[in-house]
């Protein structure tokens, strides 16, 4: 898995095979080594296959490109292009993104017989012109370049059935919205529109309201980013020694204040009792305590009346503690996102933080 790819939202269990994509596309996905769709893919692919309009709120790193290229390939595989009349159009604010999108079409469309052209600055235009003249299934372009070609009579937009606007918020930042509106108006046969944007400023919302037809709105959380000033330390240890290890770690590393995260509730109370027996000022929070008890403990911790808080992920969610010097993970969290949430408790507001993770020797080696 690539770093930064956000696969854990809803922990999707659906496989690509279950999404109903053509055999040739499934083969290309398998060749790329992907088994599970990302959350945006799992949500967008069935809706796009259904022919519906989509507003997708997702940023790069979520797998959004395959979220639209896969179902587009599936739908386009059924027909043929005519001279100078592209069947689908993907608008990208920058040439870099346009190039990435074309690479994605190449990867996933390699077992299909579809044609593609790329209209961006800097690409040898002669080749692209020949392709366009013959007719392409997929045209990927930046707005200015596309309109330039249109104005010179080299493309007709009337056969575009599927239209994708990628990174609409960046289009807005770059002043392309008027161009995009003009392009919308040229596509008189447009049957399906997909709009992707990392954020939804009101101008982008207005564009969607004006041109999209009852779009299905799909939103995925931002890929997790970690606090910058956190030092991570993995402490290899065998399972039986963990509570002793925590206790020693507090001394050795001179940790006067910390949250100690555990994957399991029973570990929470076990570690808490152990630390208390060592004379430490510790308290625990977990799902079995009622809300008022948890709140009282949190308040005491925040006020500095408790030094060590032993907690499960759920109990600690939304806990806004600024300036916590350290976080200790009794075990490796089940999901990468929990790790990011946990260590997000330290190193806040530009302060240095430390995150210690006790890991079984087996999982460290």
Site residues (CB under 6 A) for ligand AMP? 1-2, 5, 34, 36-38, 41, 60-66
Distance, CA of 304 to CA of 310 (rounded, Å): 14
Minimum CB–partner distance for residue 94 and ligand AMP (Å): 13
- Retrieve residue 357's tokens: 């993770």
Closest separation in Å from C-beta 67 to ligand AMP: 7
CB of 116 to ligand AMP, least distance (A): 17
Q: State which residue, 105 or 184, has the beta carbon closest to ligand AMP.
A: 105
41 vs 193, beta carbon nearer ligand AMP: 41
CB of residue 16 to ligand AMP, shortest distance in Å: 7
**Is residue 210 classed exposed, middle or buried when 0-12, 13-18 and 19+ CB atoms within 10 A define those classes?**
exposed
Secondary structure element (H or E) that encloses residue 50, with its range:
none
Q: Please name the residues in contact with 190: beta carbons below 8 A apart, sequence gap of 6 or more.
A: 160, 161, 162, 163, 184
CA 19 to chain centre: 19
Q: How far is the CB of 35 from ligand AMP (least distance, A)?
A: 7
d(CA 256, CA 237): 22
Nearer to ligand AMP, 7 or 139 (CB): 7
DSSP letter at 82? B
**Minimal CB distance to ligand AMP: which residue?**
65
Task: Provide, rounded to whole angstroms, the least separation between the CB of residue 36 and ligand AMP.
Answer: 6
Q: From the CB of 184, what's the least distance to ligand AMP, in Å?
A: 23
Contact indicator for 166, 90 with CB cutoff of 8 Å: yes
Q: Tell me whether residue 37 or residue 86 sits nearer to ligand AMP (CB atom).
A: 37
Query: Least distance from C-beta 2 to ligand AMP, angstroms?
Result: 5
The secondary structure element, H or E, covering residue 314 is helix 313-316
Residues β-bridged to residue 91? 141, 165
Across 183-296, the runs of DSSP E, i.e. the strands, are 192-197, 216-219, 230-237, 258-261, 282-285
Q: CB-wise, 39 or 215, nearer to ligand AMP?
A: 39
Distance of alpha carbon 105 from alpha carbon 42, whole angstroms:
18
Nearer to ligand AMP, 222 or 351 (CB): 222
Minimum CB separation of residue 289 from ligand AMP in Å reads 39
Query: 36 vs 52, which CB is nearer to ligand AMP?
Result: 36
- Tokens read off for 141: 């372009």
**With contact defined as beta carbons under 8 Å apart, do 45 and 81 qualify?**
no
Beta bridge partners of 309: 259, 283
Helix (H, G, I), strand (E, B) or coil at 164: strand
Nearer to ligand AMP among residue 61 and residue 325 (C-beta): 61
Indicate the residue among 102 and 283 with the shorter CB distance to ligand AMP: 102
Q: Is the torsion defined by CA of 249, 250, 251, 253 positive or negative?
A: positive
């Amino acid at each position: 898995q690539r770093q930064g790819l956000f696969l854990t939202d809803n922990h999707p269990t659906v496989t690509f095979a279950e999404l109903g994509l053509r055999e040739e596309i499934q083969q290309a996905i398998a060749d790329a080594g992907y088994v599970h769709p990302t959350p945006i893919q799992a949500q967008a692919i069935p809706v796009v296959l259904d022919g519906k309009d989509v507003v997708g709120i997702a940023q790069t790193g979520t797998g959004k490109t395959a979220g639209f290229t896969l179902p587009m390939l599936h739908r386009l595989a059924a027909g043929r292009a005519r001279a100078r009349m592209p069947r689908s159009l993907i608008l990208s604010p920058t040439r870099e993104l346009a190039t990435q999108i074309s690479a994605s079409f190449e990867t996933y469309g390699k077992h299909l017989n579809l044609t593609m052209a790329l209209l961006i600055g800097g690409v040898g235009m002669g080749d692209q012109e020949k392709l366009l003249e013959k007719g392409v299934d997929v045209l990927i372009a930046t707005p200015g370049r596309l309109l330039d070609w249109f104005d010179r009579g080299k493309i007709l937009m009337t056969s575009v059935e599927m239209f994708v606007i990628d990174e609409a918020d960046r289009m807005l930042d770059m002043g392309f919205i008027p161009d995009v509106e003009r392009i919308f108006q040229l596509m008189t046969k447009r049957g399906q529109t997909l709009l992707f944007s990392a954020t939804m400023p009101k101008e982008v919302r207005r564009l969607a309201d004006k041109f999209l037809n009852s779009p299905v709105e799909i939103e995925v959380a931002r890929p997790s980013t970690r606090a910058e000033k956190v030092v991570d330390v993995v402490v290899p240890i065998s399972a039986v020694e963990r509570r002793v290890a925590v206790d020693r770690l507090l001394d050795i590393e001179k940790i006067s204040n910390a949250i100690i995260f555990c994957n399991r509730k029973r570990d929470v109370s076990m570690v808490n009792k152990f630390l208390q027996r060592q004379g430490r000022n510790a308290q625990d929070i977990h799902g079995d305590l009622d809300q008022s008890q948890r709140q009282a403990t949190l308040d005491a911790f925040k006020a500095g009346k408790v030094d060590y808080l032993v907690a499960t992920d759920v109990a600690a969610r939304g806990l806004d503690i600024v300036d916590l010097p350290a976080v200790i993970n009794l075990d490796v969290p089940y999901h990468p996102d929990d790790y990011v949430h946990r260590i997000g408790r330290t190193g806040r507001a530009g302060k240095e933080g430390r995150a210690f993770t006790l890991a079984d020797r087996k999982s460290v080696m």
